């Protein structure tokens, strides 16, 4: 499977994603500079984490206008799978490819720690390989990860099963204490209405090998690979 | 920047937009709350809600205030603010 990993000035998780896709999972992955206007033969796109354009103005606000994002938009409109991670989540929201926005953590702290995630549905190209009931242990590292959407949008997300992951405690309960950033309803990741664009704040690429302490992140990438025709 | 140094363009700007961006009421504003608490702790009496936003100044060429107003409004909507979480207002004045 051919992955394109978009690289903006200030991206810093792009190489990690490429490493996991190529060296851990044995698939083809190439970096795509943000000035590119075409995704080439890519069958899936990852918008990685980092601090694109220094997070100036708002996180993801400048990156969404990069030429490559027009190509990502067309790719998504044709049903191509797009995964955003951390800053990638912020960019996809700013671009309008996902509803809502990520704002400053309620604690005002930059949170860098492992969290537990519960997958709400296996019905998406990003979760279909995640066993029911399995908690994922993934690291977070962000200052603006508090998911916000208005009531109407939240109701629509719930009704369409678009909430893919919640922050939970070790028992799998979405408690206030297990919510690292103040996200509404402990939301850690969502997908769009068509289910081919998804994003989350935690970093699956930083937890895809046992040597790193946990390989739960692999399940997300394996889900995408499994879905590829 | 590919191709060397960026070309300096010197525009004669006759108008200035003063733009204020604030978090929407429904969005939690932990910065505002923290500043509010700090002010109260410092002993300032009667401190109510504090909201932390952004202030931008944009200089504009030309003298057509109406055209500039439309342009700034468009820019505020598309880039300078995020309508999901922020409100904006601006004044436009000749300089």
CATH of the domain at B47: 3.30.1280.10
Inspect the interface and report whether the beta carbons of B28 and A146 lie closer than 8 Å.
yes
Mean predicted confidence (pLDDT) in A178-184: 98
Measure in Å the smallest separation between the Cα of A106 and chain B Cα atoms: 6
pLDDT of B83 above 80: yes
Q: Which of A140, A123, A154 is nearest to A188 (CA)?
A: A140
- Catalytic site residue A152? no
On the question of pLDDT at A58 being above 80, the answer is yes
Q: Which domain holds residue B28?
A: 13-94
Q: Cβ–Cβ of B28/A108 closer than 8 Å?
A: no
- Strand A2-7 versus strand A44-47 pairing type: parallel
> Partners of A198 in the beta sheet?
A83, A191
CB-count exposure of residue A94 (10 Å: 0-12, 13-18, 19+): buried
For A179, half-sphere exposure in the C-beta direction (CA atoms, 13 angstrom radius) is 18
A145 CB neighbour count, 10 Å cutoff: 27
B61 found inside a domain: yes
Which spans in A165-217 are helix H?
A: none
**What pLDDT, in 10s, does the model give residues B29-53?**
999 999 999 999 999 999 999 999 9
Q: Is the pLDDT of residue B63 over 70?
A: yes
Unique residue bearing structure tokens 């694109």: A52
pLDDT per position as a tens digit, A9-53: 999 999 999 999 999 999 999 999 999 999 999 999 999 999 999
Give the total residue count for chain B: 95
Hey, what are A40's tokens? 């080439």
Of chain B residues 27-56, which have a CB less than 8 A from chain A?
Answer: 27-28, 30-31, 34
For residue B86, being part of any structural domain is answered with yes
Q: Is B85 on the interface with A (CB under 8 A)?
A: yes
pLDDT of residue A166: 98
- Spacing of C-alpha A37 from chain mean position: 22
**Residue A123 Cα distances to A128, A179, A227, angstroms:** 6, 24, 11
Q: Judge whether B24 lies within some domain.
A: yes
The residue of chain A nearest to residue B56, with distances taken between CA atoms, is A57
Look at chain B and report how many structural domains it folds into.
1
**pLDDT at residue B2, rounded to an integer:** 45
Alpha carbons A169 and A167: distance in angstroms, whole number:
7
In a domain, B78, yes or no: yes
d(CA B31, CA B29): 5
A187 bridge partner residues: A166
Nearest to A61 among B27, B34, B79 (CB): B79
> Is A108 within 8 Å of A77 (Cβ atoms)?
no
Pick among A33, A58, A59, A151 to test the B interface (most B CBs inside 10 A):
A58
pLDDT at A84 over 70: yes
Flag if A107 and B27 touch (Cβ within 8 Å). Answer: no
Query: Which band of pLDDT confidence, cut at 50, 70 and 90, is reported for residue A175?
Result: very high
> Is the CATH number 1.10.3660.10 carried by domain A2-227?
no
What is the C-alpha to C-alpha distance for residues A102 and A112, in angstroms, rounded to an integer?
A: 16
Nearest CA in chain B to A105: B30
> Is B1 a domain residue?
no
Judge contact between A75 and A45, C-beta under 8 A: yes
CB A130 within 8 A of CB A223: yes
For residue A227, the surrounding DSSP H or E stretch is helix A218-227
Whether residue B35 lies inside any domain: the answer is: yes
Q: Which residue has the tokens 């702290």?
A: A109
């Amino acid at each position: 499977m051919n992955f394109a990993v978009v690289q903006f000035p200030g991206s810093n998780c792009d190489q990690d994603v490429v490493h996991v896709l190529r060296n851990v999972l044995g698939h083809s992955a190439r970096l795509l500079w943000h000035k590119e206007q075409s995704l080439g033969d890519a069958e899936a796109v990852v918008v990685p984490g980092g601090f694109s354009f220094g997070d100036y103005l708002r996180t993801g606000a400048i990156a969404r206008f990069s030429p490559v994002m027009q190509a990502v938009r067309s790719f998504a409109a044709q049903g191509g799978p797009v995964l955003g991670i951390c800053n990638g989540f912020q960019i996809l929201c700013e671009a309008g490819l996902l509803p809502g926005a990520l704002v400053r953590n309620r604690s005002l702290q930059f949170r860098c720690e492992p969290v537990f995630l519960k997958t709400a549905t296996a019905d998406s190209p990003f979760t279909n390989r995640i066993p029911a009931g399995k908690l994922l242990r993934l690291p977070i590292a962000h200052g603006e990860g508090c998911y916000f959407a208005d009531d109407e949008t939240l109701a629509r997300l719930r009704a369409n099963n678009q909430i893919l992951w919640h922050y939970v405690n070790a028992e799998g309960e979405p408690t206030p204490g297990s919510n690292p950033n103040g996200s509404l309803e402990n939301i850690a990741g969502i997908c769009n209405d068509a289910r081919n664009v998804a994003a989350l704040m935690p970093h699956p690429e930083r937890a895809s090998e046992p040597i790193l302490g946990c390989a739960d992140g692999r399940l997300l990438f394996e889900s995408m690979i499994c879905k590829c025709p | 920047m590919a191709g060397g140094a960026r070309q300096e363009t010197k525009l004669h700007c006759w108008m200035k937009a003063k733009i204020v961006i604030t978090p929407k009421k429904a969005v939690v504003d932990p910065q505002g709350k923290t500043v509010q608490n700090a002010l109260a702790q410092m002993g300032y009496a009667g401190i109510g809600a504090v909201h932390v936003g952004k202030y931008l100044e944009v200089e504009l060429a030309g003298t057509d205030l109406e055209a500039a107003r439309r342009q700034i409004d468009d820019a505020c909507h598309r880039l300078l603010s995020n309508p999901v979480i922020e409100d904006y207002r601006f004044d436009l004045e000749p300089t």
